[in-house]
Amino acid sequence: MKTVLSAIVISSFVAAPAFAVEPIKGSINFDGPSQSTLSKTPVGSVLQHQFTSNGKDYLEIYVVGADGRPELVSRSASNNS
């Protein structure tokens, strides 16, 4: 499973400029780039963030960048039923 997730994350870096995911209310970096860094988290680590906004459940995938900040690479949504 980690291999598949890693492949998805890596392929999203290639497509990132064409398909950039914008933060929405509830995202970790909604108010601009995150000011806090994840100094003890290795670069390239994958983080998941689940939240609810406007009646939908969201799952976001972040990758820790070279500067230690989480970078949003993917988001999926489902109805909150």
Q: pLDDT for 7-17, tens place per residue?
A: 566 665 555 55
Contacts of 6 (CB under 8 A, 6+ apart): 46
Tally the domains of the chain.
Answer: 1
pLDDT, tens digit (0-9, with 9 covering 90-100), for 16-71 = 555 677 878 888 877 766 567 888 889 999 999 999 988 899 999 999 999 998 98
pLDDT at 81 > cutoff 60:
no
* Rounded Cα gap, residues 13 and 39, in angstroms: 21
pLDDT at 4 > cutoff 60:
no
Do the beta carbons of residue 59 and residue 72 sit within 8 Å?
Answer: no
- Give the DSSP per-residue string, 12-39: HHHHTTTSPPPP-TTSTTTTSS-SS--T
Q: 76 pLDDT band (50/70/90 cuts)?
A: very high
Domain of residue 67: give its range. Answer: 2-79
Structure tokens at 8: 């998805």
> pLDDT at position 38, please?
83
